[in-house]
Amino acid sequence: MSEASLPFNDKFYPSAEKIGSGDKRKQVWEESLKNPQEFWAEKAKAIDWFKPAPKVLDDSNPPFYKWFAGAELNVSYNTLDRHVKGAKKNKLAYIWEGEMGEVRTYTYYQLYREVNRLAKVFQDLGVKKGDRVAVYLPVIPELPITLLATARIGGVHAVVFSGFSAEALADRVNDSGAKILVTADGSFRRGKPVAIKDNADRALKIATTVEKVIVVKRTGQAIQMQEGRDVWYDQALAKAGSSAYVEPEPMQASDPLFILYTSGTTGKPKGVQHGTGGYLVWAYWTLKWAFNPTDEDIYWCVADIGWITGHTYNVYAPLSLGITAFLFEGTPDYPAQDRWWDMIERHGINILYGTPTAVRMFMKFGEQWPNKHNLSSLRILGTVGEPINPEAWKWYYTVIGKEKLAIIDTWWQTETGGFMIAPLSGIELTPQKPGSATFPLPAVNADIYDDKGQPVPTGTKGFLVVKSPWPGMLTTLWKDPERFKQTYFGRWPNIYYTGDYAVRDNEGYFWLLGRADEVLKVAGHRIGTVELESALVSHPAISEAAVMGKEDVVKGEVPVAFVVLRSGFQPSEDLRKELVKHIRTTIGPIATPDAIVIVNKLPKTRSGKIMRRILKAVLVGAPIGDVSTLEDDASVEDIKNTYEEMRKQLHK
Ligand code: WTA
């Protein structure tokens, strides 16, 4: 999205909300930055601590900040036991709907019992505090149950999205050093069973730290169970007994709760590590501030729990608040293009937290689909994962929200733990602007810098940074503190570098403009171009590869790969197909390139650096631009020829 075309002056006033001037919001924000100790000491009271924090923030060793240093708590206790002991024991924690329409519900008490039983299974299998539990599951209730059971015994979960390939799973499991893997026989996609256990088996040939595998029966398809290693989830729980109880392990606030791998600018995914106390406080308050869910609400965040949005906003935030969350296993357009709207009507869903890609897809399907349903239960809408273009925003606002509902556009990242910039219906909403995530949350000291580290003037695009620590921030990168420091605090000391572009308008609203680094957002999924490039060059036919994002009307962005073949290989449709298959097995279907363009040469500087600007020009159909000023005087003729060749190949 270009900043020049943004509707800075378009304002919308959703009629179901009270819209204010923003003074109140500003006051809370200023207070949070002026007196962070007092502010967070007060907010921390929303959580049950076994031992309260002697100090809100230990900042003696930046950027390794320790929130609520010295405090002790357990996340499973906070999401389950305290509700079970109180008035919410029989309240629904989850309503789950499977791909085939089957529905399962769990009250807080039922969830508590099952979590205890699985925690007992973990204990019996020898999982101890600090041990990693790898998880490779579709969105079925056993997924949040596994996370909570892990947290209960002080383990560290490492969830790998179930759409990742065996190889990607192996890399992540290996890096985490997990002892246990929890997986399923399969999952359903468009009504058909899809293999999961097969992938896990292949991954475990490489990832050898795993000693035991717990397998949930989901599809009933035939799978191999390896004697001595694999156990069925149901049988293990039966053995643990129906009334097993496991004492929640007291954890230091800074102890890791989970690792979640995400793409960066190198080929190796980063193990983003989140702590326990700060993360939970952040999860709790960010959801309350932004969506302000009530005890009567049914709240639906559409994200897969394999990603950060699902971790924070399908598990830890809603359950620590004690609300009812809806979970959905599957495909948004199966069996028909009104699946979402049908579920919203049937379950009476009140809060819908969706994604720009889904909105654009539904836009394409047409408004007749939502219009078939009574959506009057909805009272607030949300979006996340990528910039929402103003057209999609307006469609969401008008067709789904009927111009009544606010749109909570939440900007944040795997690393930030929870929302960072978003409208806050729980504090004060300001007029909405289509495509702006509005203002930073309390404690978020956001700014926009130029490449010299100076704040940019209003209306000028720059790098989004955060200038103070906040409770939900990652604590480090798993086993790689140096990379943590370099990646996020290396550009400007003690300033958190987000890797995103942003611009502020003359009323101070923030507009997010996409990634400033080599990370793509494909249908909201974060994919590193370098990861894709290394996957491509690992194929015997490829000598060099360069991957760029190309704009896409539904997915926001799609990868396009430019590749050079090794001698002896000829371009062909079969080879292209094979390369696509290769990507699907090394990373996963989400990384499938939109096009593979075979060229003789890539545009490079004399020092061998790929000139991404030229690739971009090819993709957007822009003129090559001025190449006479190229650094280290690459051959202008050469670049021009390469550009022409790529252009022809792309549009062939
Ligand atoms: C992008 C997802 C614009 C951004 C929670 C960020 C967004 C990356 C928004 C993180 C939004 C996320 N508007 N862009 N509302 N939300 N992004 O780690 O580029 O999967 O850096 O976390 O998604 O992606 P991640």
Instruction: Assign 560 to helix, strand or coil.
Output: strand
* Residue corresponding to tokens 């990742």: 164
CA separation for the pair 189, 543 (Å, rounded)? 35
> Going along 441-524, which residue ranges are E strands?
446-449, 462-466, 476-477, 496-504, 510-515, 519-522
pLDDT per residue as tens digits for the range 54-80: 999 999 999 999 999 999 999 999 999
Q: How far is the CA of 382 from the centre of ligand 1 (A)?
A: 13
CA 168 to each of CA 165, 590, 610: distance values in angstroms, whole numbers, following the listed order: 5, 12, 26
Beta carbon of 303 within 6 Å of any ligand 1 atom: no
Task: Give the per-residue pLDDT at 644.
Answer: 80
pLDDT per residue as tens digits for the range 230-263: 999 999 999 999 999 999 999 999 999 999 999 9
Task: Give the per-residue pLDDT at 651.
Answer: 74
Ligand 1 atom nearest to 415, measured from its CA: 18
Beta carbon of 512 within 6 Å of any ligand 1 atom: yes
Phi first, then psi, for residue 489 (nearest 5°) are -125, 10
Task: Give the per-residue pLDDT at 603.
Answer: 85
How long is the chain? 652
Q: How far is the CA of 514 from the centre of ligand 1 (A)?
A: 8
Beta carbon of 409 within 6 Å of any ligand 1 atom: yes
Which of 360, 413, 419 most suits a substitution to test ligand 1, by most atoms within 8 Å of the C-beta? 413
Bond prior to 63 in cis (omega within 30° of 0)? yes
526: left (phi over 0), alpha (psi -120 to 50) or beta: beta
314: left (phi over 0), alpha (psi -120 to 50) or beta: alpha
Beta carbon of 410 within 6 Å of any ligand 1 atom: yes
Beta carbon of 286 within 6 Å of any ligand 1 atom: no
Ligand 1 atom nearest to 437, measured from its CA: 15
Q: How far is the CA of 622 from the centre of ligand 1 (A)?
A: 27
pLDDT per residue as tens digits for the range 92-123: 999 999 999 999 999 999 999 999 999 999 99
Residues near 324 by beta carbon (within 8 Å), at least 6 away in sequence = 91, 92, 93, 94, 95, 297, 298, 299, 318
Residues near 121 by beta carbon (within 8 Å), at least 6 away in sequence = 149, 214, 236, 237, 239, 240
Beta carbon of 386 within 6 Å of any ligand 1 atom: yes
Instruction: Assign 277 to helix, strand or coil.
Output: helix
**Whether residue 636 has pLDDT greater than 70:** no
Query: Residue 551 corresponds to which tokens in the numbers above?
Result: 């704009």
Q: How far is the CA of 410 from the centre of ligand 1 (A)?
A: 8
Which of 282, 384, 410, 555 most suits a substitution to test ligand 1, by most atoms within 8 Å of the C-beta? 384
Query: Residue 189 corresponds to which tokens in the numbers above?
Result: 């996609």
Beta carbon of 118 within 6 Å of any ligand 1 atom: no
DSSP state of 454: P
pLDDT per residue as tens digits for the range 267-307: 889 999 999 999 999 999 999 999 999 999 999 999 999 99
**Whether residue 160 has pLDDT greater than 70:** yes
pTM: 0.96
Q: Mean pLDDT, to the nearest integer, of 498-520?
A: 96
Q: How far is the CA of 411 from the centre of ligand 1 (A)?
A: 6
Task: Give the per-residue pLDDT at 635.
Answer: 61
Which residue type is seen at 439?
F
Residues 590, 263 contacting (CB under 8 angstroms): no
CA separation for the pair 602, 563 (Å, rounded)? 8
Beta carbon of 500 within 6 Å of any ligand 1 atom: yes
Residue owning the nearest CA to atom 15 of ligand 1: 411
Pairing of strands 298-301, 351-354: parallel
Beta carbon of 437 within 6 Å of any ligand 1 atom: yes
Q: What percent of the chain has pLDDT over 90?
A: 90
Task: Give the per-residue pLDDT at 270.
Answer: 96
Beta carbon of 304 within 6 Å of any ligand 1 atom: no
* Residue corresponding to tokens 């156990």: 231
Which of 161, 386, 463, 488 most suits a substitution to test ligand 1, by most atoms within 8 Å of the C-beta? 386
439: left (phi over 0), alpha (psi -120 to 50) or beta: beta
* Residue corresponding to tokens 């809060």: 351
CA separation for the pair 74, 413 (Å, rounded)? 24
Which residue type is seen at 232?
W
Residues near 125 by beta carbon (within 8 Å), at least 6 away in sequence = 180, 211, 212
CB neighbours (10 Å) of residue 577? 11
Task: Give the per-residue pLDDT at 648.
Answer: 82
Which of 6, 260, 270, 500 most suits a substitution to test ligand 1, by most atoms within 8 Å of the C-beta? 500
Q: How far is the CA of 69 from the centre of ligand 1 (A)?
A: 29
Task: Give the per-residue pLDDT at 355.
Answer: 98
* Residue corresponding to tokens 């791909």: 99
Q: How far is the CA of 70 from the centre of ligand 1 (A)?
A: 32
- Three-state SS sequence of 186-251: EEEECCEEEECHHHHHHHHHHCCCCCEEEEECCCCCCCCCCCCCEEEHHHHHHHHCCCCCCCCCCE
Which residue type is seen at 186?
G
Terminal C-alpha separation, the chain: 26
- Kindly calculate the radius of gyration of the chain based on its CA atoms and give it in whole angstroms: 24
Q: How far is the CA of 576 from the centre of ligand 1 (A)?
A: 31
**Whether residue 631 has pLDDT greater than 70:** no
Ligand 1 atom nearest to 498, measured from its CA: 21
Ligand 1 atom nearest to 409, measured from its CA: 15
Q: How far is the CA of 525 from the centre of ligand 1 (A)?
A: 9
CA separation for the pair 200, 164 (Å, rounded)? 10
Query: Residue 51 corresponds to which tokens in the numbers above?
Result: 């031992």
The sign of the CA dihedral 432, 437, 443, 444 is negative
Which of 521, 525, 555 most suits a substitution to test ligand 1, by most atoms within 8 Å of the C-beta? 521
CA separation for the pair 161, 522 (Å, rounded)? 15
pLDDT per residue as tens digits for the range 540-580: 999 999 999 999 999 999 999 999 999 999 999 999 999 99
Residue owning the nearest CA to atom 5 of ligand 1: 413
Beta carbon of 99 within 6 Å of any ligand 1 atom: no
Q: How far is the CA of 524 from the centre of ligand 1 (A)?
A: 7
Please give the distance of CA 113 from its chain centroid, rounded to a whole number.
Answer: 28
- Three-state SS sequence of 21-52: CCHHHHHHHHHHHHCHHHHHHHHHHHCCCCEC
**Whether residue 632 has pLDDT greater than 70:** no
